[in-house]
Amino acid sequence: MARYAKIALVLALLAATAGAFALTESLKLEKSPITGTKVAKTFSPACNCPTRTARIAFRLRTATRLTVALVDSDGKVVRTLVRGRSVPHGLVVLHWNGRDDNGRVLPDGSYKPRVHLSSDRRTILLPNPIQLDTHPPRAAILSVVPQVFTPGHGRVTVTYRVSEPANVILYVNGLRRVRSRFHPLQGKIQWFGTVGSMQLAAGTYRLQLAGVDLAGNLGPRTAPRSVRIRYIEPSSPLVRVKAGGPVVVHYLPALPVRWLLHGRSGYAQKGVVRLRAPDQPGRYTLFLTRDGHDARVTVVVRA
């Protein structure tokens, strides 16, 4: 009898195992009542930006009474967005402003949506975490090279570092001009001295950076760094020469320019103008032009 009892026990265990396996497999084959889940990865209720709320979207296979709540990393409910609402099948879109049920902004951290479906008697914790982040990034300028350049023939490269992954905004004289496409912790951003297709005038400009993190928080601007735009810059605004003698004027950058002096004209290369002074004593103006920009040098001719 004992032998038969052991055999019966083994058969019962096998049957129970097979039943549990079959139940597990059937659950695997059962379709989830929620599909197409799309949940914001990070947001900041402190920013005045499109990511100041977290979007939670999913589709229901059937109509149901719906309850949606946010839980923290310990599984505690911190906010109930929907409680027992009758909804049809299809798309459900909700937004969370990062606050609890009393209207207080919750601490930075990771939160997950939890969905309860009354008709299915199921509670599903969505696997998509939402990162609440209210701390702005800090940027630092490491270098600005070069400090003098000519738009159309050069550019300024600003090397920077940020405290967290963030896009970087370049401000020129307090105005936003360039935004980086990517968000490394250290990178480079370039400025070509233009606004759209228009080259800015010669002069000194202040450059500043600020970081924008993935949640949309805008950090403080860095201390300004100065750069200078030049087009044609003579080494001296005035030269004195003898009548009919040589006139030599150096200029930067060393690009080809057209010169005009007392009805004569020509072209200069490699940053130096060489020509003959007028035969009559007096004060003359030497014009240097290139790409719509010009410079003037006063030529004093002595007898």
CATH topology of domain 233-302: Immunoglobulin-like (2.60.40)
CATH 2.60.40.4070 range(s) for the chain read: 30-132
Query: pLDDT tens-digit profile of 180-196?
Result: 999 999 999 999 999 98
Does residue 142 surpass a pLDDT of 50?
A: yes
Tokens 């798309």 label which residue?
91
- Closest C-alpha to 160, from 131, 195, 134, 190: 190
22 or 55, which is more confident? 55
- Give which of 47, 53, 96 is closest to 72, Cα–Cα: 96
Cross-strand pairs, 149: 229
Q: In CATH, what class is 139-229?
A: mainly beta
Among the ranges given (1-5, 45-49, 91-95, 282-286), the one the predictor scored with the smallest mean pLDDT: 1-5
* Amino acid in the structure at residue 253: P
What's the CATH class of domain 30-132?
mainly beta
Domain limits, CATH 2.60.40.10, in the chain:
139-229, 233-302
**Parallel, antiparallel or unpaired: strands 54-60 and 64-71:** unpaired
Condensed to tens digits (0 to 9), the pLDDT of residues 84-116 reads 999 999 999 999 999 999 999 999 999 999 999
Closest CA to 218 of 134, 157, 109: 134
Reported residue count of the chain is 303
